[in-house]
């Protein structure tokens, strides 16, 4: 047995523990987990402060478990001097409420005062509004314990400049103050990149003539050579093939027919096609012209290359050989190898002079020292974050317990459970039990086990274009007009308006009264569907016959009348009608002597015989309605049943009620006079029949009993039956001879 004296109450068909004091919260760890209503809940999709939920989720797995709730309860009650304050759900804590005898309480009190000091506030309490904005808390502080420094962390202008250059080259991290800054990792990477880039540039400086054969124009010349390198190689190969086979020269060159195919187009827009043609005219001598004789699309590239390379290496030449081209390529070998060894490219934008200057000033150690100073305040900064956590739990923890340990808020008409998303207005009713659905697959599998009537709706907010799915539980009213595709309006807990459309219905009984009329509704629908089907078939048949006559199609040969078959059918029908008539006559004979109250009993018995099974089945299902399967489908681990009985269910769905007196409909159908007269005649005949057959006419008029009523005294008068004389014995004995027996 538990040492702590827990108090229980029965709500929702189960005995649940009452959390009504701070001591209950302090001893929460002693409560047997079998008595908890919930074992775990999701962090998202709830009408609850998301920051608080994430703070309760200690391991960050997206779920809140019993052990995490117990840890939060123990921590809270150790920090707060009076745990009964948790039941007030206030969003501020007075400094006098901190338990300074506890080291953590004393530390958090100091942090709370530091926060107010940073904000420039002087008061004896701290609120969530003070702690939620961490940027404002650390905005004016040089160090905040996160290991990130900004230009605000130092008054040294050179260090500020170095920090900014580090950020521009290597990227940044956001400081608690909201500014962009750098940490140890970024600073180390920055100086490594500076050193690597400087060493790479020094290697080129040590052998400039080899690495930069064309001086400052080497990079541009290298890019130009690479742009046309493949095309030049293709040209020289074509020339070699032409020298090998003179007959192939025409095939290797551009043919007139290829040019003819684009001759009727705008050639200025055919660069891509023309660029596929050979670089120049194919010749057996294998020289490449470097003047206007080249392919016009490649003319600008050749001209640029001529200015950068050919005029320097082959001054005055109008053609170059393949060997000369290869010599040009070879000159770029050292430059290409140097490029492939490039290091520290992230600081290249600073320029080699700035890189050398930063390395020469060597302020790396100063930056790392600033970071160490910032990290020294890590514990103090963490305490400031803990104050924010304390305030969130101080305000929200008791509400969470009322939706986790017990379902007190759900069964309290004045409160709403954290899984109730809002209200759905549809079909002249307001559904208060609406739950957000994250994934339909679990709902398809298990929501039907709840035994509740559930409508699933797609909701869209036309202002924000957000969408969501809700499951609305209907526990009251008529369902005859509820169907897939029906539209409604959903209001979330924050006042947002969503257009809702039903896309799925899980059908279960709503009330016993609805179940009472369900057989008659089903019969009515069956008759209506049968009549509609019959009418549609006859209409189709009539249209078909008319179509056949119009199109002149040959008529079907009429079957000859079968008198024998007709006689058999007629005889069978006659027997059936006769049997029904006799049965009806017997029934009328029996009920003709019924008194008025007996008629009422008979009608009631007949109606109960029809509706009774449906009502019993509905009653059995209604008393078993359980919200747990629906919540389980939404990611909850429900430990105890969450029953929704008939009385409580009626509070979850409000049905519209119109005034008894209302203005008449000006557009109502007006019945003709003969129909009104006929209706009154039928009513009068019915009243007379009731009075006549129940003998009320005699009671009212005090006249003689009606002739059909049998007087029991007259019927039961004894009658003497004369005794008949015994009949004469005229029988004679037949004698049989023995010889006859033998025969």
Determine the distance from the C-alpha atom of residue 36 to the mean position of all C-alpha atoms in its chain, rounded to a whole number.
28
Measure the CA–CA gap between 371 and 182, rounded to whole angstroms. Answer: 9
pLDDT in tens, 626-640: 999 999 999 999 999
Question: Could you give the C-alpha distances from 267 to 91, 277, 295, in angstroms and in order?
Answer: 76, 14, 13
Return the domain boundaries, the chain. 8-140+377-401, 151-207+349-375, 214-263+270-331, 422-508+625-655
Measure the CA–CA gap between 76 and 25, rounded to whole angstroms. Answer: 9
pLDDT in tens, 89-122: 999 999 999 999 999 999 999 999 989 988 889 9
The total number of residues written for the chain in this structure:
743
Q: What is the pLDDT of residue 731?
A: 44
pLDDT in tens, 260-285: 788 778 887 787 888 888 888 888 88
pLDDT in tens, 172-219: 999 888 889 999 999 999 999 999 999 999 988 888 888 888 888 999
| Category of 252 on φ-ψ map: left (φ > 0), alpha (ψ -120 to 50) or beta | alpha
Q: Taking a C-beta distance cutoff of 8 angstroms, is the pair 470, 437 a contact?
A: yes
Q: What is the pLDDT of residue 113?
A: 92
Q: Where is pLDDT greater, at 605 or 372?
A: 372
Per-position DSSP letters for 50-100, written without gaps between them: HHHHHHH-TT-SSEEEHHHHHHHHHHHHHHBS-GGGGGG--SEEEGGGB-T
Q: What is the pLDDT of residue 497?
A: 95
Q: Taking a C-beta distance cutoff of 8 angstroms, is the pair 108, 126 a contact?
A: no
Mean pLDDT of 640-652: 88
Q: What is the pLDDT of residue 577?
A: 72
Mean pLDDT of 645-669: 76
| Category of 351 on φ-ψ map: left (φ > 0), alpha (ψ -120 to 50) or beta | left
Q: Taking a C-beta distance cutoff of 8 angstroms, is the pair 532, 524 a contact?
A: no
678-707: b or e for each residue (b if 16 or more CB lie within 10 Å)?
Answer: eeeeeeeeeeeeebebbbeeeeeeeeeeee
Q: What is the pLDDT of residue 600?
A: 67
What does DSSP assign to residue 695?
T
Q: What is the pTM of this model?
A: 0.67
Q: Element (H or E) spanning 655, and its range?
A: strand 653-655
Measure the CA–CA gap between 651 and 630, rounded to whole angstroms. Answer: 19
- Name the percent of the chain lying above pLDDT 90: 43
Question: Reduced to 3 states, what is the DSSP secondary structure of residue 181?
Answer: strand
Q: What is the pLDDT of residue 710?
A: 46
Q: Where is pLDDT greater, at 312 or 251?
A: 312
Q: What is the mean pLDDT of the chain?
A: 83
Is the confidence at residue 316, as pLDDT, over 50? yes
pLDDT in tens, 287-301: 889 888 888 889 999
Measure the CA–CA gap between 138 and 132, rounded to whole angstroms. Answer: 12
Q: What is the pLDDT of residue 39?
A: 96
Q: What is the pLDDT of residue 498?
A: 96
Question: Could you give the C-alpha distances from 524 to 324, 480, 510, 518, in angstroms and in order?
Answer: 101, 12, 20, 10
What does DSSP assign to residue 464?
T
Q: Taking a C-beta distance cutoff of 8 angstroms, is the pair 324, 314 a contact?
A: yes
pLDDT in tens, 435-460: 999 999 999 988 889 988 999 999 99
Per-position DSSP letters for 3-34, written without gaps between them: SS---EEEETTEEEE---SHHHHHTGGGS-GG
Q: What is the pLDDT of residue 49?
A: 94
What does DSSP assign to residue 450?
G
Q: What is the pLDDT of residue 108?
A: 94
Measure the CA–CA gap between 275 and 227, rounded to whole angstroms. Answer: 13
Q: If we measure between CA atoms, which residue out of 482, 377, 373 comes closest to residue 424?
A: 482
CA end-to-end span of the chain = 103
């Amino acid at each position: 047995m538990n040492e702590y004296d827990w108090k229980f109450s029965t709500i929702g068909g189960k005995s649940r523990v009452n959390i009504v004091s701070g001591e209950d919260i302090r001893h929460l760890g002693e409560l047997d987990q079998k008595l908890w209503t919930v074992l775990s809940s999701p962090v998202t999709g709830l009408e609850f402060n998301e920051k608080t939920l994430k703070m309760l989720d200690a391991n960050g797995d997206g779920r809140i478990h019993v052990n995490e709730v117990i840890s939060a309860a123990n921590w809270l009650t150790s920090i707060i001097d009076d745990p009964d304050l948790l039941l007030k759900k206030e969003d501020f804590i007075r400094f006098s409420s901190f338990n300074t005898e506890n080291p953590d309480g004393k530390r958090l009190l100091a942090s709370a005062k530091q926060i107010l000091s940073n904000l420039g506030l002087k008061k004896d309490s701290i609120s969530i509004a003070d702690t939620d904005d961490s940027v404002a808390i650390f905005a004016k502080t040089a160090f905040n314990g996160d290991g990130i420094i900004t230009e605000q962390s130092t008054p040294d202008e050179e260090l500020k400049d170095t920090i900014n250059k580090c950020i521009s080259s290597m990227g940044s991290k956001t400081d608690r103050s909201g500014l962009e800054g750098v940490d140890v990792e970024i600073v180390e990477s920055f100086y490594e990149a500076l050193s690597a880039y400087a060493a790479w540039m020094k290697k080129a400086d040590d052998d400039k003539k080899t690495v930069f054969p064309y001086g400052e124009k080497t990079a541009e010349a290298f890019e130009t050579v690479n742009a046309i390198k493949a095309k030049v190689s293709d040209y020289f190969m074509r020339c070699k093939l032409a020298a090998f086979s003179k007959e192939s020269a025409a095939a290797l060159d551009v043919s007139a027919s290829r040019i003819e195919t684009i001759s009727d187009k705008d050639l200025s827009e055919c660069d891509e096609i023309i660029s596929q043609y050979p670089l120049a005219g194919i010749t057996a001598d294998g020289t490449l012209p470097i003047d206007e004789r080249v392919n016009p699309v490649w003319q600008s590239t050749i001209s640029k290359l001529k200015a950068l390379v050919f005029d320097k290496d082959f001054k005055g030449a109008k053609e170059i050989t393949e060997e000369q081209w290869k010599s040009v390529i070879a000159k770029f070998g050292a430059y290409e190898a140097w490029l492939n060894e490039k290091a520290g490219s992230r600081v290249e934008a600073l320029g080699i002079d700035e890189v050398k200057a930063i390395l020469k000033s060597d302020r790396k150690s100063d930056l790392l020292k600033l970071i160490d100073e910032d990290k020294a305040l890590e514990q103090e900064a963490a305490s400031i974050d803990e104050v924010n956590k304390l305030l969130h739990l101080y305000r929200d923890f008791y509400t969470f317990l009322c939706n986790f340990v017990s379902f007190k808020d759900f069964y309290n008409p004045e409160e709403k459970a954290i899984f109730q998303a809002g209200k759905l207005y549809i079909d002249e009713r307001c559904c208060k039990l609406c739950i957000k659905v994250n994934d339909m697959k679990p709902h398809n599998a298990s929501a039907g086990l709840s035994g509740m009537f559930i409508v699933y709706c797609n909701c869209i907010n036309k202002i924000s274009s957000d969408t969501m799915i809700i499951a609305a539980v209907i526990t009251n009213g008529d369902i005859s007009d509820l169907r897939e595709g029906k539209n409604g309006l959903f209001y979330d807990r924050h006042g947002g308006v969503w257009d809702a459309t039903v896309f799925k219905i899980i059908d279960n009984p709503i009330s016993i009264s609805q179940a009472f009329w369900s057989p008659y509704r089903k019969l009515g629908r069956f008759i209506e569907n049968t009549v509609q089907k019959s009418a549609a078939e006859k209409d189709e048949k009539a249209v078909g016959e008319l179509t056949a006559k119009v199109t002149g199609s040959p008529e079907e040969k009429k079957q000859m009348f079968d008198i024998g078959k007709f006689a058999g059918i007629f005889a069978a029908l006659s027997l059936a009608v006769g049997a029904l008539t006799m049965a009806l006559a017997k029934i009328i004979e029996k009920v003709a002597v019924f008194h008025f109250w007996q008629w009422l009993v008979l009608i009631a018995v007949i109606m109960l015989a029809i509706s009774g099974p449906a009502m019993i089945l509905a009653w059995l299902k209604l008393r078993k309605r359980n919200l747990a399967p629906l919540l389980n489908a939404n990611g909850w681990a429900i430990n105890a049943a969450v029953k929704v009985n008939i009385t409580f269910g009626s509070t979850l769905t409000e049905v519209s009620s119109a005034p008894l007196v209302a203005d008449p409909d000006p557009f109502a159908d007006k019945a003709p006079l003969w129909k009104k007269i006929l209706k009154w005649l039928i009513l009068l005949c019915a009243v007379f029949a009731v009075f006549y057959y129940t003998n009320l006419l005699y009671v009212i008029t005090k006249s003689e009993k009606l002739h059909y009523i049998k007087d029991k005294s007259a019927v039961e008068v004894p009658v003497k039956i004369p005794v008949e004389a015994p009949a004469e014995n005229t029988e004679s004995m037949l004698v049989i001879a023995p010889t006859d027996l033998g025969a």
